Amino acid sequence: MGRKQDPTPTGLFYANWKAEESISTFNDEWELRWNFNVENLLGVAWHQYSLPGYPASHSCMRLQEKDARYLYDWADQWVLTDKDKVLVKGTPVIVFGSYNFDAPKPWLQLIENPKALDITEDEMKNQTERFLKEILAEQENRAAKA
């Protein structure tokens, strides 16, 4: 996730465009494999990139290659009617949570408690329920227009 000064935005997004390889808009030396953009105007995406052990991106969601490739193949892109108008939104993406940069690294708890980072069913329901009506409406729109 994003570093302290460039946090990853949270909320409901939709996958829009993707590229097997793209170059970062922040640094042209960064090659991003299996890049799938979810916030077009801010350039927020998930993609493969090194995982240094703490949130270090410029607001993107870094993934291991196998995970980035899986999501790249699995998710749907948006459908545009022209350069700027979205006819059908892509796969819904809910980003939630925050990282406490002042606390000990949470994954160090895994040695004593292998389930320390698990997300409960109740938490998933709490995070998704508020977006469900919009997501279902967008799915109906995709089915009708795609």
Model pTM score: 0.87
CA distance 36 to 76: 10
Q: What is the pLDDT of residue 89?
A: 95
Domain ranges of the chain: 11-145
- Whether domain 11-145 has CATH 1.10.260: the reply is no
pLDDT exceeds 90 at position 120 = yes
Q: What is the pLDDT of residue 122?
A: 96
Q: What is the mean pLDDT of the chain?
A: 90
Q: Would you give the DSSP letter of residue 57?
A: B
What integer is the mean pLDDT of 112-140?
Answer: 94
Q: What is the pLDDT of residue 92?
A: 97
Determine contact, residues 93/15, Cβ cutoff 8 Å.
Answer: yes
CA distance 16 to 78: 5
Q: Which residue has the higher pLDDT, 105 or 18?
A: 18
What integer is the mean pLDDT of 19-33?
Answer: 81
CA distance 124 to 103: 23
pLDDT exceeds 80 at position 27 = no
